Structure 1
Amino acid sequence: MKAEINEQALLKGLANNDTKAIEAIYKSNFNMIQSFVTNNNGTYDDARDIFQEAMIALYEKAQGGSFVLTSKLNTYVYSICRRLWLKRLQQLGRYSNQIDGLEEAVSVEEDLETHLKRNAEFTIMDRALNSLGEPCKSLLEGFYLKQLDMQALAKEFGYTNAHNAKNQKYKCLMRLKKLFFTQYNIGE
């Protein structure tokens, strides 16, 4: 109930050009929109443009006075941005599916929940990786992010051969997995 009151206050603030309300909407929504656009053939600038268009649409709705928000504000903003971006992709010829009837085909609530859950999992994984310690953190980053082979890892970390590096990587991965799931289960 408190969240609904807060969201109504944000809409009222937006309608009255309240800078704090506009900033609050921006801070709680832009990263999600940027992630969506950049993961779907777009750039940071595209995300800014789409978000700006959505804010204008939301502003016009809020100014009307009769607008009733029937979902969470972030869900509403996300759905506007998603529709605008898919429409733009279609105009650029980078999206072939028909936009008409998109509401029936894609549940924005589910898509948003999936996105938010994935972001939370990435945050937990980052926290687990940072609490892993050295040399495990660097070893896993070398293998998974830098895509170094076992021979290169053995040389970089001073292991006698690739087999020893592989064993150490496995042990580090199991420690990371344990840290991740311990933190993941605490967060639920």
Structure 2
Amino acid sequence: MSKALNSSAPTDSEVVLGILNNSEIILKRVYVAYFPMVLQLIINNNGTTDDAKDIYQEAIIVLYNKIKAGNFELSSKLKTFLYSVCRKLWLKRLHQMSRYGGDIKDFQDHIPVEDDADMQTERDMQFSKMEGALKLLGEPCKTIIEDFYINNHSMQDICERFGYTNADNAKTQKYKCLQRLKKLFFQQ
């Protein structure tokens, strides 16, 4: 194998197969091929070369573990995936060190790691289901649930608004409403 081919970026499928086959050569090629972009990201955002090495090593471990787990599906280029993981890890590290003052400067487009996108889609679906269940709930339950959980009203406020004799009665009614809401939510 020529030296030029050895230092070039491996194809995404070569990386996946290489990791599955425990190829140190592939891991070294991935490291050489994509480390400069990570170094630039970290240096441009309050980091050092050592920080970049640490973050990149963590990202390679994430990639390695995902591939070895057998459920890794690449929905972008491997380079973009690694960049996104490094970006996310660096944001977390900056936040932990209290050096995070907003968004970080990107030098290329990035996409969120696919797990985050799947979680966001699932969360959106759950919110839609909850909205539908709330509409079906009817009054006074809908208003009681919204006042308590969304508008942060106290049980005493709810008691006075709906004319319950005491806050415990309002709390009992809220509990019954919540049970009905759960039932409607899971029926959808």
Q: Scaled by the length of structure 2, what TM-score is found?
A: 0.49
Rg bigger for which structure? 2
Q: Scaled by the length of structure 1, what TM-score is found?
A: 0.49
